Amino acid sequence: MQWMLTEVGVLTQRPSKPGPKQLADGWVRLKVHYCGICRTDAKMWHQGHRDLMLPRVPGHEIVAVDAADRPVVLWPGTACGTCRYCRAERENLCDHMQIMGFHFDGGFSHDLIAPAASLIPIPAAMPPHLACLAEPVGCVLNALEQIRLRPTERLLIVGGGTLGLIAALAAQDLKAKPIVIERRPEKIHKASPFLKCAQLTCLPAPPREPFDAAINACPDPAALQQAITLLVRGGRCAFFSGLAPTPPLGNSEINLLHYKELTVIGAYGLTRRHMAAALALIGRYPAELNLLVESILPPETLPELLPQVLAGGAFKYILDYTGRHGC
Amino acid sequence: MQWMLTEVGVLTQRPSKPGPKQLADGWVRLKVHYCGICRTDAKMWHQGHRDLMLPRVPGHEIVAVDAADRPVVLWPGTACGTCRYCRAERENLCDHMQIMGFHFDGGFSHDLIAPAASLIPIPAAMPPHLACLAEPVGCVLNALEQIRLRPTERLLIVGGGTLGLIAALAAQDLKAKPIVIERRPEKIHKASPFLKCAQLTCLPAPPREPFDAAINACPDPAALQQAITLLVRGGRCAFFSGLAPTPPLGNSEINLLHYKELTVIGAYGLTRRHMAAALALIGRYPAELNLLVESILPPETLPELLPQVLAGGAFKYILDYTGRHGC
């Protein structure tokens, strides 16, 4: 079975159609084992997305097995391999980029076809469901690379959801000094087992001392504004989460970029290299990251999970296509 | 005589007071020969400025002579020399930065005191009034350095005023391919002698092909928005001109930074190194840059010039303290 988004707001369950009998060159057939639910999946269900082409099977945080039963994660794209971006190892910006779950069908399905070039093997020792985090972790690694985060630097992370907490773990792994800011006490409370296990700090309001670098890890425009305001002169901010339409950033806040010679760098998606690095990071912190798995549930539960994911209070929901995990 | 801004909107002429008889260590007395009028001078007169401390003698585009009658330009600041920014040769961001004409008295005056460390000698062959352009040219060089402009890259410059045209000349000198966009036909017309002399292009609307890099050279928020919109994925934008308070940039335009992995880098002021490089650039293009001098006028004319500078239709006005140039 698979979930098809036929129009914004309308998910339909139907039999899986894993592509034509004869696949195009370089494409392979896979069995999905797990697929994480991203907030972007919930957003495209709720309001659409600039890169979404309907009808579409969403899902891009996929753990699957190939014909030889080898577990893999999927870099969620196809790239031409020859454009200026591909040649510069920035294939997430490829001139002909097609995103899995956006432009072609993704992982909310028992079966799947995908470019063989997108398969990245999962280390044998890793609990396979955890590998669903390779995509979000890789997106975070892209953002930290864009701002060239260095050891000992103070990193401000605005937003204490799954992505903000992953960013803190990844920054600490780089020997930087991350601090997560989360204004909702219930989210700090929810994060506390992870924070304790990873020895990380999440505060309801930022300390006074400014930060060398920052990342906005929630769509509230106030998060980006706070990041800009709290940076040292010459500081760098990863623009990681797209902004909600309102409220608009004020021009006087934007002018701080000018006056403080700040650098704001967009980070959108990830490359294969980031995804492989993400698997390595997950391998170093399986216990910590497992605390960011909200629940592993049967595929049928997707429609009831999407509103929760959209509301933002939960960690990572993972759909189980193996039948191993009950409701 | 000197012009003192006693409060926003109030300029008063009074006898020059070139500081105390006994100067602080490292400060020297100078005679002003020329001082350019910057749009920021007009803005601080009209509406104040975040870095302005009143009362103040404005003016920071200064050509002066020292006690031995050697012509110099002045890097318009004082920097501590020891903070993280000074050690990194980013003294424009110094922890203890004081800007000439903002925090301490500037060049709209016959006499001046300034830190000896700020003096940069003018090459003998250069017409001295042209050296007033060293400060704005150096600010442009800072911006082009921030975005790491490389040969053959297409640079979009939004705004065809003095600064935008200087940016085009400097970019061409770096062997990049600049195109200036200016929507007001009268400004393109006014720029045409310069454009012809420098073999540069200024268009009323941008061509379709996107740009590798961009710079906003006017305070209209639409200029920054246009720069962001017309950049290639992974492109870089120098945030050179602070934005007017309205209209606000829309969040959907700001989100392009995220989706296209753009880099926006603030550029504010310049370092001594940029100013020395600016003098070298002026030395290579004296005829071209002389076409950006609107007029050289006696100091008494300042009050009538400020509204024109604020309105933005003129090139560079230069006040003459030598008595050589008539009205």
> Does B20 have pLDDT greater than 90?
no
Per the structure, the count of domains in chain A is 2
Residue B87 inside a domain? The answer is: yes
pLDDT in tens, B207-228: 989 999 999 999 999 999 999 9
Nearest by CB: A262 against B246, B259, B266: B266
pLDDT in tens, A104-140: 999 999 999 999 999 999 999 999 999 999 999 999 9
Mutate to test the interface with A, among B145, B153, B239 (most CBs of A within 10 A): B239
pLDDT at A327: 43
Euclidean distance between CA atoms A244 and A98, whole angstroms: 24
Residue A61 inside a domain? The answer is: yes
Structure-token match 């749009």, residue found: B39
Using a CB–CB cut-off of 8 Å, the residues of B that contact A are: 50, 85, 90, 92-93, 146, 221, 233-234, 239-246, 248-252, 254-268
User: Does B109 lie in the same domain as B45?
Assistant: yes
- Within 8 A of B248 by CB-CB distance, chain A residues are 248-251
User: Does B187 lie in the same domain as B95?
Assistant: no
User: Does B107 lie in the same domain as B44?
Assistant: yes
CA dihedral (B127, B130, B135, B136) in degrees, to 10, reads -150
User: Does B184 lie in the same domain as B122?
Assistant: no
CATH no. for residue A261?
Answer: 3.40.50.720
User: Does A89 lie in the same domain as A9?
Assistant: yes
Euclidean distance between CA atoms B302 and B109, whole angstroms: 11
pLDDT at A226: 95
Residue B112 inside a domain? The answer is: yes
> Does B327 have pLDDT greater than 60?
no
Nearest by CB: A266 against B92, B239, B258: B258
User: Does B298 lie in the same domain as B253?
Assistant: no
- B121: its two tokens: 């000698």
**Helical segments of A64-133, H only:** 84-87
**A156-190 burial string, b = 16+ CB within 10 Å, else e?**
bbbbbbbbbbbbbbbbbbbebebbbbbbeeebbeb
pLDDT per residue, tens digit, chain A (327 aa), is 999 999 999 999 999 876 788 899 999 999 999 999 999 999 999 999 989 999 999 999 999 999 999 999 999 999 999 999 999 999 999 999 999 999 999 999 999 999 999 999 999 999 999 999 999 999 999 999 999 999 999 999 999 999 999 999 999 999 999 999 999 999 999 999 999 999 999 999 999 899 999 999 999 999 999 999 999 999 999 999 999 999 999 999 999 999 999 999 999 999 999 999 999 999 999 999 999 999 999 999 999 999 999 998 899 999 999 988 654
From A240, which residue of chain B is nearest by alpha-carbon distance? B258
User: Does A245 lie in the same domain as A197?
Assistant: yes
Residue B218 inside a domain? The answer is: yes
User: Does A131 lie in the same domain as A14?
Assistant: yes
Range B295-306 average pLDDT: 96
User: Does B274 lie in the same domain as B258?
Assistant: no
User: Does B161 lie in the same domain as B15?
Assistant: no
Three-class secondary structure of residue A93 per DSSP: helix
> Does B37 have pLDDT greater than 70?
yes
Nearest by CB: B85 against A233, A252, A257: A233
Three-class SS of A159-206? CCCHHHHHHHHHHHHCCCEEEEECCCHHHHHHHHHHHHHHCCCEECCC
Euclidean distance between CA atoms B6 and A103, whole angstroms: 62
Please check whether residue A327 is in contact with residue A301, taking contact to mean a CB–CB distance below 8 angstroms.
yes
pLDDT in tens, B254-282: 999 999 999 999 999 999 999 999 999 99
> Over chain A, what is the mean pLDDT?
95
pLDDT in tens, B102-148: 999 999 999 999 999 999 999 999 999 999 999 999 999 999 999 99
Global ipTM: 0.95
A55: preceding bond cis by omega (within 30 degrees): yes
**Helical segments of chain B, H only:** 39-47, 84-87, 134-146, 162-173, 185-198, 221-230, 251-259, 272-284, 286-290, 302-311
Burial class (CB in 10 A: 0-12, 13-18, 19+), B304: exposed
Structure-token match 């990049």, residue found: B176
Residue B62 inside a domain? The answer is: yes
Domain that holds residue A297: 2-135+269-320
Angle, alpha carbons A83-A85-A36 (nearest 5°): 115
CA dihedral (B169, B245, B237, B286) in degrees, to 10, reads 10
Cβ contacts below 8 Å, chain A against chain B, sum to: 111
Residue B327 inside a domain? The answer is: no
Neighbour count for residue A54 (Cβ, 10 Å) = 12
pLDDT at A50: 87
CATH no. for residue B107?
Answer: 3.90.180.10
Residue A143 inside a domain? The answer is: no
Q: What is the pTM of this model?
A: 0.94
**Helical segments of B185-250, H only:** 185-198, 221-230
User: Does B89 lie in the same domain as B180?
Assistant: no
Three-class secondary structure of residue B201 per DSSP: coil
- Within 8 A of B263 by CB-CB distance, chain A residues are 263-266
DSSP, res A73 = E
> Does B17 have pLDDT greater than 90?
no
Domain termination site, one of A228, A244, A266:
A266
User: Does B130 lie in the same domain as B42?
Assistant: yes
Range B171-189 average pLDDT: 97
Residue B290 inside a domain? The answer is: yes
